[in-house]
Structure 1
Amino acid sequence: MRALFFSVALLWVPLCLAQPADQQERAELRDFLDATINSAESFDDKYDAEVWLVDMSARLARYVKDPAYRLEILRQIHAASLKADLPPELVLSVIEVESHFDRFAVSRVGAQGMMQVMPFWKDEIGRPDDNLTYNLTNFSYGCRILQFYLQREDGDLHKALARYNGSVGRRTYSNKVYRAWDKHWRNGPLDWAD
């Protein structure tokens, strides 16, 4: 059954990953997806990796046009999220609200990268040379910061997100993240307690 699904999914991939220009590009994309799935160490099962990556890649296409880059980002987000014990779909929602998946985004207050991490964190942890526009670094910082706030707020997503955004006491930001999750990234329940 898995082999059949894998074969069907690989044939379907070019449709959901934005139409490749020709057969060679289609074959290269199929090979890249296969390699991405096989190197996705944060998944317990290659079937789960395939399903999640294909599904989320189709959802991410509105923001990231290059299918190979989309899969790379998704694999990195999934790994960083799980290391921080966060649902990857929550992290995708935060990134959508923070930067719309622009790795070079800089806010008016100086936050950088996809997860809009403030540069002072680099000095706080003694790594002043880290590049916050480098996705792996940005995802690692952003996920760990959100994990810290979620633990500090006893699992209350609204409060943790407000701390992440620097808007403690307000729900404007957390409501934006909730709407992004609900509209684009939801694939299971999250505890958005009121």
Structure 2
Amino acid sequence: MLDSTATIQNTAPPVAAFTRTEDRLAYLRWLAETDKKLVPFVQDATMRKEIAQTIWYEARRASLDLGLVLGSTEALSGFRKYAVAPNGAMGYMAVNPAWVSKIGNGDVSTLMHLQTNFRFGCVLLRHYLDESKGNVYTAVTKYVENNLGLAPGNPQVAAVVNNTFAAQARWAYVEQAK
């Protein structure tokens, strides 16, 4: 069971730690590239950095593709912290508030906290990936259905899923050979 209390109390974005200089440099290049791509969505430079750092940390923690998490965030909220879906799903990754009672501390307002929202979103996406035996399309579909409260077959599900994969392709990062 996930307890997000420690995450909530730490308001700073997670700081990546590296044992190899090459890994740190690769991370910094990714961070710079991601920052550029975030500009149309988030004008504040400090906020862009915090979002990118948090996505990198939480996606890695859950063994998720960075582009998939970025693409999901773009499709679900347009990188809006205070996005609220018609069913009440909240924040960057449109997390259904019911999850806070199931795997969190019960305080729905924590979903508006940057790291908590990405932690929940990444944990849930990993859960659906595991449940679907690695089928990314099925996992994203289940994520959208369950977090947005949409019935299977609802055309809105297919639209969000398609937008997620289109955005994932735009967020893909390929390390340039040096």
Q: Per-residue deviation at 1:141?
A: 0.3
Contact persistence 2:76–2:160 (CA under 8 A):
no
1:12 aligns with none
CA 1:43–1:68: 2 relative to 1, 3 Å: farther
Runs of 4+ in 1 over 3 A off after TM superposition: 167-172
Answer with 52-61 or 128-137: which moved more.
128-137
Q: Match of 1:178, as an amino acid?
A: F
Quick one: which of 118, 127, 140 aligns to 2:119? 140
Unaligned runs of 5+ in 2: 1-12
Q: TM-score, normalised by structure 1?
A: 0.72
Q: Match of 1:41, as an amino acid?
A: A
Offset from partner CA, 1:104-136 (integer Å, 9 cap, x none): 110011000000001110111251025101010
CA 1:43–1:138: 2 relative to 1, 3 Å: farther
State the identity as a percent. Answer: 31
1:72 paired with 2:59, answer no
1:156 paired with 2:143, answer no
Task: State the superposition RMSD in angstroms.
Answer: 1.9
Q: TM-score, normalised by structure 2?
A: 0.78
1:187 paired with 2:173, answer yes
Q: Match of 1:162, as an amino acid?
A: T
Distance 1:140 1:79 in 2: 9
Aligned length: 150
SS in 1 for 2:26: helix
1:177 aligns with 164
CA 1:106–1:87: 2 relative to 1, 3 Å: same
Whichever of the two has the greater Rg, that structure is 1
2:17 aligns with 41
Distance 2:127 2:17 in 1: 23
Distance 2:93 2:99 in 1: 13
CA 1:46–1:174: 2 relative to 1, 3 Å: same
Unaligned runs of 5+ in 1: 1-35, 189-194
Distance 1:148 1:174 in 2: 17
Quick one: which of 68, 77, 82 aligns to 2:60? 82
Q: Per-residue deviation at 1:67?
A: 1.3
Distance 1:117 1:134 in 2: 12
Q: Per-residue deviation at 1:43?
A: 8.8
